């Protein structure tokens, strides 16, 4: 089957592959998994390369190499799953927030994360992925989500530190993704980053309030900082020399900076904030380096990151169990929405025929 697609000013033919937009064949078929890499019809690869070289965007209807599509689906799906699982650690504090104001703020933040997950699943769908399939892959442990959400939230100070560190790290990582070469992903990131920046400030404001409080509150903040610092540095992924995907993703301009560059940017951004707050970052090697114009810092425990990614972190089982239960308990909502959409479509058809 050949489809005609509007290319840059001219019509080009596309030989569909398993990822083609319009879900000609979905991700789950055996055929798709076994299909040989599709051959790019004349000129399309060159057109794609030139678009990337000019820093222009690839859009869903454009031809793209199979590897580019797969890489994007992998990254966007992992990102979407992280947003949804990321609702859990903070969500546990909604009923225990110390005031109505803090409860309302936390509620709104957790709800925003759900929204981020939905934009991202929608972006993945523009690549031909199927959201149900992605969710199944997560639930069956075949797709990843961020390591950071496998750590427990032991006190209300953790809510502030997640906002400050985790959302701060998310901003460092995701602002450059607003310039990612794939249009729908880049556009989703614009709104997500605006909200993340609000989240980071609410976390920092909460911590400033606690630091002005009692000695016990200040201790809670320092304890949360000690527990979240290293896992936050791990959010940026393995070091560059152990990151199998970075080089390819950067050549395609999906990622704009390497894992280590972004990690360093995060450290540089966070150190003065820690000083202002009056907390100590738990790294004896942390110091300003006049020559490089950046901070030197210690090495995260990469074995720990690998263990957590593989499912052996402090809360992996709990997070996945909760996600599975929520998915099963939400089945009636999906069925009701599908029935409602079918009814609406039937009504629209009837109206059009009348």
Contact set with ligand BYC (CB under 6 A): 74-75, 78-79, 82-83, 86, 113, 144, 146-147, 166-167, 170, 173-174, 234-238, 243-246, 249, 255, 259, 309
Query: Rounded to the nearest whole angstrom, what is the least distance from the CB of residue 188 to ligand BYC in the complex?
Result: 11
Closest CA to 247 of 234, 261, 257, 262: 257
CB-nearer residue toward ligand BYC: 141 or 278: 141
Query: Rounded to the nearest whole angstrom, what is the least distance from the CB of residue 165 to ligand BYC in the complex?
Result: 10
Query: Rounded to the nearest whole angstrom, what is the least distance from the CB of residue 262 to ligand BYC in the complex?
Result: 7
CB-nearer residue toward ligand BYC: 63 or 184: 184
Query: Rounded to the nearest whole angstrom, what is the least distance from the CB of residue 249 to ligand BYC in the complex?
Result: 5
Helices (H), the chain: 30-34, 44-53, 66-85, 87-91, 100-125, 131-139, 156-161, 167-174, 183-211, 215-234, 246-251, 259-277, 302-309, 316-329, 331-353
CB-nearer residue toward ligand BYC: 174 or 181: 174
What is each CA distance from 228 to 167, 183, 260, 281, in whole angstroms? 12, 33, 18, 10
Torsion sign over Cα 45, 51, 55, 60: negative
Torsion sign over Cα 43, 180, 74, 20: negative
Q: Which residues pair with 3 in a beta bridge?
A: 14
Torsion sign over Cα 50, 53, 55, 61: positive
What tokens does 180 get?
A: 């990612």
CB-nearer residue toward ligand BYC: 247 or 342: 247
Query: Rounded to the nearest whole angstrom, what is the least distance from the CB of residue 308 to ligand BYC in the complex?
Result: 7
Query: Rounded to the nearest whole angstrom, what is the least distance from the CB of residue 204 to ligand BYC in the complex?
Result: 14
CB-nearer residue toward ligand BYC: 243 or 273: 243
CB-nearer residue toward ligand BYC: 222 or 316: 316
């Amino acid at each position: 089957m050949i489809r005609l697609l509007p290319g840059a000013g001219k019509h080009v033919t596309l030989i569909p592959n398993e990822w083609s937009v319009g879900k000609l064949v979905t991700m789950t078929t055996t055929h798709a998994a076994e299909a040989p890499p599709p051959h790019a019809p004349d000129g399309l690869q060159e057109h794609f390369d030139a678009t990337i070289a000019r820093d222009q965007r690839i859009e869903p209807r454009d031809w793209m190499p199979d590897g580019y599509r797969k890489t994007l689906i992998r990254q966007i799906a992992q990102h979407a799953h992280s947003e949804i699982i990321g609702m859990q650690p903070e969500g546990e504090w909604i009923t225990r927030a110390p005031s109505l104001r803090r409860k309302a703020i936390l509620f709104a933040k957790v709800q925003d994360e759900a929204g981020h997950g939905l934009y991202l699943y929608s972006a993945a769908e523009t690549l031909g992925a199927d959201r149900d399939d992605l969710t199944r892959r997560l639930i069956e442990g075949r797709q990843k989500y961020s390591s950071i959400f496998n750590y427990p939230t032991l006190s209300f100070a953790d809510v502030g530190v997640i906002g400050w560190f985790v959302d701060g790290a998310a901003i460092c990582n995701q602002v450059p993704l607003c310039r990612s070469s794939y249009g729908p992903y880049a556009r989703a990131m614009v709104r997500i980053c605006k909200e993340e920046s609000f989240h980071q400030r609410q976390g920092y404001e909460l911590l400033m309030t606690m630091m002005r409080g009692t000695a016990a509150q200040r201790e809670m903040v320092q304890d949360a900082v000690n527990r979240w610092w290293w896992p936050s540095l791990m959010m940026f992924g393995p070091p560059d020399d152990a990151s199998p995907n970075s080089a390819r993703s950067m050549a395609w301009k999906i990622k704009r900076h390497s894992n280590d560059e972004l990690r360093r940017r995060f450290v540089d951004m966070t150190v003065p904030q820690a000083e202002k707050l009056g907390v100590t970052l738990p790294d004896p090697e942390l110091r300003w380096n006049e020559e490089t114009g950046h901070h030197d810092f210690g090495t995260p425990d990469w074995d720990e990151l690998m263990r957590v990614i593989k499912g052996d972190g402090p809360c992996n089982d709990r997070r996945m169990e909760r996600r599975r239960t929520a998915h099963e308990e939400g089945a009636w909502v999906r069925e009701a929405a599908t029935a409602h959409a079918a009814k609406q479509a039937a009504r629209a058809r009837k109206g059009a025929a009348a």
